[in-house]
Chains A and B, each alone.
With several copies, the nearest count.
Chain A
Amino acid sequence: MSEKPEHFIIDGKRLDGRRVDELRSVKIKLSPLDRADGSCYLEWGRNKIMAAVYGPRELHPRHRQDMTKAVVQYRYNMAAFSVNDRIRPGHSRRSIEISKVGRDAFEYVLFTKFFPKTAIDIFIEVLQADAGTRTAGINAASLALADAGIPMRGLISACAVGKVDGEIVLDLMKEEDNFGEADVPVAMTAGGKITHLQMDGHLTRDEFYEALKLAKIGCDKVYKLQRQALIEKYSGEYAENDEDAIPQAQIGDADE
């Protein structure tokens, strides 16, 4: 682990030049994989994330099927070489927890009741990690689900907020995450319904409230980027035949 910087914010600028309410640069590529039903490659700052979706498809073994709805499965995995010290392949306790809360982040927007006995499988591979992989993974998963054409109430958008040098800031980078005072990953629908929320560190009640409001601003920005990526990808394909062919549900707001 590198040394703790003396200051994280100097003249309103963070170590990488961002303002406190600014996201890292984001690059989205839809459908990079052809075997999966939907996929998305996402660069979020120095994070590199691949997400793929399969389903709804038959769930094996059969005794795990739910007669009333699709079972959502979410697998967050870090490549062995995605961090400085090699990770042993396979599940860790950390990845099991992140997979669980990742799954919980999506069930609300998936019409699981439409697909009893099936599985909707969401796979996240972290290829390069630099703080914020769980929220970046949720953003990529959201786009991969849309890319797979799986009916959703709307997209899920995620970002982390935190506290460094006593200030609430958006989207912690590595140093801010390692040495900062708090980290709050959040995922929301476009309408601000929170489907994922964790926190560690130390915040007063009012700081936390401020953090939540900043998270809403961040998620709104993410949502615009996601929507833009889907429109670029799909408007071209459908535009000639039908202006309305972009499935609104996919890029719309679950809360409207």
Chain B
Amino acid sequence: MSDDVMAEIHRDYLFNLVLKGERDDGRAFDEFRDISIETGVAGMAEGSALVTLGDTQILVGIKIQPGEPFPDTPDVGVIITNAELIPMASPEYEAGPPREGAIEIARVVDRGIRESKAIDLEKLCMIEGEKVWIIFIDIHVLNNGGNIIDAASIGSIAALLSTTLPAERYGLGEDSPLPVRDIPVAVTAIEFGGELLLDPSLEEGKLAGTVYTVITNSDGGISGMQKSGIEPLTIDQVMRVVDMAGTAAVKIREKFLEV
């Protein structure tokens, strides 16, 4: 049987499961796979976290160096977020500069951290208009088991929470923890067969017509969203995901206490 036929059969199987309210791995629609967070794994980085979310494995490393602020924001530090979908992580990934998928991931994670004001960027200004700390968030996807965006979001904030400002190395005073004051959490849903499923597995993600991410803060507020994929959502569906995401984020945020 051809690959296409196999894919068709598998799709029908998953579709019928969803109609019965079930998922292939037994999870409820609003249930995440197991999450584990290990920080400090990359010893040359100022902060790092290895996140596993089901089969997905992502390593996020934070590097910090002094540099110039952007001209239009002279009094705050700089965040630069980059995601690499290295060919190790999936047979579909190719070597080369980041493509739209990797860029979208990096930009959504970046917006979540930036808009939630999770990092106190004012404190990263040393001399207005001249010298600020530049924070590089590098998201290294090691194994794509689906829902990279949520794992990358968790990994990024976990890595930032473990980060030390390397002031001594640059002769700029004493080292100190990076001023992190919130834990934004991305929660992604897919629409499939009319149902909304959180934390899509790799298989589910491939079948999804729509991928919709909601980033919420500790206060329950929303600081970022991204819909991608070709199927539309109704306002009702959007609000259902918002509510599911808020609930799921609370549980995920508890994971950070265990680190």
Contact = CB atoms under 8 A, between A and B. Distances in A.
B171 interface: no
A86 interface: yes
Contacts of B84: 80, 89
A93 interface: yes
Interface stretch (B27-35, B234-242, B250-258): B234-242
Nearest to B99: A96
Nearest to B136: A86
B227 A33 contact: no
Contacts of B61: 79-82
Nearest to A92: B103
B224 to A, nearest CB: 5
Interface residues of A, number: 64
A55 to B, nearest CB: 9
Given A48-B42, A79-B42, A199 B222 contact: yes
Nearest to B60: A81
A12 interface: no
Give the interface residue-count category, chain B.
35 or more
Q: Please classify the interface of chain B as helix (H, G, I), strand (E, B), loop, or mixed, using the class held by over half of its residues.
A: mixed
Interface stretch (A20-28, A164-172, A209-217, A239-247): A209-217
A209 B239 contact: yes
B107 A52 contact: no
B238 to A, nearest CB: 6
B92 to A, nearest CB: 9
Interface of B: 41-45, 48, 55, 57, 59, 61-63, 65, 71-73, 82, 84, 86-91, 95, 97-98, 100, 103-104, 106-107, 111, 114-117, 136, 138, 140, 142-145, 169, 212, 217, 220-235, 238-239, 242-243, 246
Nearest first, the 8 A-B pairs at minimum CB distance are: A81-B61, A107-B230, A193-B232, A199-B225, A81-B45, A86-B63, A123-B88, A197-B227
